[in-house]
Structure 1
Amino acid sequence: MTVGPALSVSLNAIGKVMAEAHDSWWIIASAAVALHGADPGHVADVDVLLSVADAQRILPAIGIELRSGSPHAAFRSSIFGTWTGTALPVEFMADFHRRSGEAWLPVRPATRQPVEVDGLAVFIPERVELQAMLTAFGRPKDRERARSLAAVS
């Protein structure tokens, strides 16, 4: 696994604040692809899925205003917040859903793989599940990341 310095600093910060989580949480999307050792393309931010209870407790403690919604029309969360106190922005999403036609489907990984970054644990879905998740998201950049994951054994 090779992650750049900005991603490493951000993952370290996430590991520290999420150590206070009571429920399962995951890093998904491009950062998770990088943690699996695949080429994620450009990593512009880090996406974190967490429970509503953890979001309500942890996010205000690091200065994040709790709001609903998402910056993308194909996704929504009961609680969404962006943390800019790290090298890369971190997007926290609680009760995260993706649009499929007219339906909103929950996104909650079934697998949880720990990855150590600078002595701290962060969690990602297992490779096959992450690949399926990215494919289901349907955006070209997500499909490309899914193909990159498929090439890693």
Structure 2
Amino acid sequence: MVKSAIGTHLGATLKVVAAGCAALQDDWWVFGGAAMALAGVQGLCPPDVDLIVSERDAASLIITWRAQLETGAPSPLFRSKVFARTTIAPLPIEIMAGFEVCESGAWSAVRPATRQIAAFNAGVIFIPTPAEQAEI
């Protein structure tokens, strides 16, 4: 377990994430800036919380959180089979399933191999290890 460094808005949003993800059926992770803050990186103010989940769990969260599916074109570096956003917390929560990254012109799936609990007082939050976050 790692010691996190989170601000008020991120903390309140992570409480929503912990509660909403508690009953998910498959592995899930907080990813990106929020995961780096949870890993202890100081001074971060993530604009949102990114979640990597399975397609089955994405469908469940989209209904539970009344998230809006995003259908715009993917960025040249990232794309997701399912991408939805909800604003039920102080920070937007982005739900991603089938998340991929483009490297040297080839797309590859991003599914963390590691899963650790971040120290957070309002529920269980899973993140990739800091080493894997840096690698991704």
What TM-score, normalized by structure 2, do the two folds share? 0.89
Q: Does 1:89 align with 2:95?
A: no
- Give the alignment of 1:1-150 within 5 angstroms: 1-39=4-42, 41-67=44-70, 72-133=75-136
Deviations 1:108-135 (A, max 9, x none): 00000012423300000011111111xx
CA distance, structure 2, for counterparts of residue 40 and residue 68 of structure 1: 32
CA distance, structure 2, for counterparts of residue 70 and residue 110 of structure 1: 27
* Closer/same/farther in 2, CA of residues 68 and 19 from structure 1, 3 Å limit: farther
* Stretches of structure 2 lacking an aligned partner (at least 5 in a row): none
Equivalent AA in structure 2 for residue 83 of structure 1 = T
1:47 match: secondary structure: strand
* Closer/same/farther in 2, CA of residues 106 and 69 from structure 1, 3 Å limit: farther
Equivalent AA in structure 1 for residue 79 of structure 2 = R
CA distance, structure 2, for counterparts of residue 70 and residue 58 of structure 1: 22
Deviations 1:88-110 (A, max 9, x none): 11111001001112211100000
Equivalent AA in structure 1 for residue 61 of structure 2 = I
1:85 match: secondary structure: coil
Deviations 1:21-77 (A, max 9, x none): 100000111111111111363311111100001111221121013355666331111
Q: Once superposed, which parts of structure 1, at least 4 consecutive aligned residues long, lie more than 6 Å away?
A: none
Relative contact order higher in (CA < 8 Å, ≥ 6 apart):
2
2:124 match: secondary structure: strand
Contact in 2 for aligned 1:69/1:78 (Cα 8 Å) = no
Count of residues in correspondence between the two structures: 133
* Stretches of structure 1 lacking an aligned partner (at least 5 in a row): 134-153
* Closer/same/farther in 2, CA of residues 40 and 48 from structure 1, 3 Å limit: farther
Aligned-residue sequence identity (percent) comes to: 34
